[in-house]
Amino acid sequence: MTDCKFLFSNGVISSSPDVPAVATLLQSDPGAYTTTRTHSDGACILFWERHLRRLSNSARILLSRSPRLLFKPEKSEISFPPSFVESSAWDSTVKSLVKDSVDQVLPIALREAKRKEGEELAITTLVSGNAQKVRGIESVIGADSVAEVLDIYVHLAGYVPPAFGRPESAARLAVVGRGRRVAEAKYSDWVRWGGNVCRSLLSLWCSTFCLNGMFQGGNCFSG
């Protein structure tokens, strides 16, 4: 499997060896995240619309219920009026920011990663609050104000899907650690405390299982 990694952060693309492992990224920055992968030699992203929806919902829940899980710890006192969290611009803006970021970095990664046959790309997206841009926007509700307070990170790395139907490909996982304090949201603080790295791998394995099983071909997003 290739060791090449890519990180897209607010318009800037970095590649190995300057890119940390995905676990390091998630342990270093707060926010909502999701993990998926490409399929068919990068032709599509598995369950992409579901991941976009889950990511947007998770960020909204964190902003409303526990801002310190979205922003840096020293900004835990940050709060927003319900009109900001419930704005119709929220979902569309978060999804647009994430999709645009992936659309910019994925073609470059597919072209430059020098993947081996059968190798795909694992894609982890982190939506993190930018506390430095919070002041003065609470009263302005719209797409610009939503985009202003968020930083988007897209991490890509090589991933070899296990062959379906072989005993040696069966998942062997040990999920340990505490449960999520905000159960409805998926956020990086849980990874920081050792609870969710295995679940990210499980998510990729389950995607492989579904694709090779009864749901084959039904949940891809073509790039």
Scored b (16 or more CB within 10 A) or e, 76-93 reads eebebeeebbebebbbeb
pLDDT at 151 over 50: yes
Token pair of 1, please?
A: 């499997």
Angle (CA) 178-182-183 rounded to 5° is 75
- The residues spanned by each domain of the chain are 5-218
Q: What's the average model confidence in pLDDT over 35-51?
A: 94
Q: How far is CA 176 from CA 67, 187, 199, 200, in A?
A: 25, 16, 10, 13
Query: Considering Cα of 219, then 151, then 61, then 83, what sign does the dihedral take?
Result: negative
Class of the CATH-defined domain 5-218:
alpha beta
Q: How far apart are the C-alpha atoms of 88 and 142, rounded to whole Å?
A: 8
Residue (of 160, 159, 158, 139) closest to 148 by Cα position: 139
Q: What is the pLDDT of residue 125?
A: 97
Q: How far apart are the C-alpha atoms of 58 and 80, rounded to whole Å?
A: 16
Of the chain, the end-to-end C-alpha distance in Å amounts to: 23
218 falls in which pLDDT band (50, 70, 90)?
very low
Question: For the segment 76-122, what is each residue's pLDDT rounded down to a tens digit?
Answer: 466 666 666 666 778 888 999 999 999 999 999 999 988 888 899 99
pTM (predicted TM-score): 0.79
